[in-house]
Amino acid sequence: MNNYKMIIAYDGSRYKGWQRLGNGENSIQEKIETVLSRLLNTEIQIIGSGRTDAGVHARGQVANFHCKKRLDVDAFLNEVNRYLPEDIGVQSLEMVDEDFHARFSAKTKIYRYYIVNQAVHNPFVRKYALHIPEPLDIEAMQEAAAMVIGEHDFTTFTNAKSKKKSMVRRLDRLDIFFEGEYLIFEFEGNGFLHNMVRRLTGTLIQVGLEQIKPAAMGSYLKAQDRHKVTYIAEGKGLFLESVAYDD
């Protein structure tokens, strides 16, 4: 059985997220699987590096699938993109080792959250950035961000409620900086829980708006109580930028 790795970009605005949910749900996974299954004349299931929520975008989502046929990857890549919706594009396709797994083989992921922090919003980026017209205290947000770097139990910052699943993750960095008109929060870590980035972002925004003190970030983390977080940033400003693997 041959194993193929894809890097995928998508605009998540009109989808209910990455994961195929059944019952005709509009997901990115379902759109790609439908095209692959039709082209290969057999049912294909793809494995993503992780789930993205409704409205969340990706520049570098990674997925893999298995099939018996040995593909001409360049020609097949063109065929796949011909039939996919215009808001989903497979950026690359390659054959990889049989034991490669898009999720379990991943070492680190990078997410970016985009904010337009100015009085007047640019209407042409309304689907891809959160508009905050009030001034934000960048130094206070950076102070708060430093408190969650490292390996922690992120129960406070997730919607996941499983008692069996570990809530411990390692956040290697959380950088806050301007790039053009955007204020960007860039997260890099070994894995992210459901809604973790959006909850962290929402709390940082509250710090920036001086609604809570920077020290609240640390106390929320220690509390391990998801009810502490009162603001979850919208999905539209979030992008899965890249997923890294061992060579």
CATH code of 71's domain: 3.30.70.580
Tokens read off for 216: 């609240």
Confidence (pLDDT) at 245:
96
CATH code of 199's domain: 3.30.70.660
Residues 210, 144 share a domain: yes
Residue 77 inside a domain? The answer is yes
Residues 235, 146 share a domain: yes
Residue 68 inside a domain? The answer is yes
41-70 pLDDT tens trace: 999 999 999 999 999 999 999 999 999 999
Whether 53 is a known active-site residue: answer yes
**Distance of alpha carbon 181 from alpha carbon 200, whole angstroms:** 22
Residue 20 inside a domain? The answer is yes
Last residue of a domain, one of 62, 96, 130: 96
Instruction: Give the count of domains, the chain.
Output: 2
Residues 39, 150 share a domain: no
Last residue of a domain, one of 67, 96, 125: 96
Last residue of a domain, one of 68, 96, 124: 96
Selected catalytic residue, list 53, 99, 137, 172 = 53
Residue 75 inside a domain? The answer is yes
Confidence (pLDDT) at 24:
59
Q: Is 35 helix (H, G, I), strand (E, B) or coil?
A: helix
Confidence (pLDDT) at 212:
97
**Distance of alpha carbon 133 from alpha carbon 152, whole angstroms:** 32
Confidence (pLDDT) at 23:
63
Residue 102 inside a domain? The answer is no
Q: Is 166 helix (H, G, I), strand (E, B) or coil?
A: coil
**Distance of alpha carbon 188 from alpha carbon 192, whole angstroms:** 9
Q: Which residues of the chain have pLDDT under 70?
A: 22-24, 163
Residues 59, 172 share a domain: no
The alpha helices in 21-168, defined as continuous H runs, are 28-40, 73-83, 138-146
**Distance of alpha carbon 61 from alpha carbon 119, whole angstroms:** 33
- Strand positions, DSSP E, the chain: 2-10, 47-48, 57-67, 88-96, 106-116, 130-131, 150-153, 168-179, 182-189, 238-245
Residues 129, 56 share a domain: no
Range of the domain at 49: 2-96
Residue 36 inside a domain? The answer is yes
* DSSP label at residue 149: -
Give the global pTM: 0.95
196-231 pLDDT tens trace: 999 999 999 999 999 999 999 999 999 999 999 999
Residue 216 inside a domain? The answer is yes
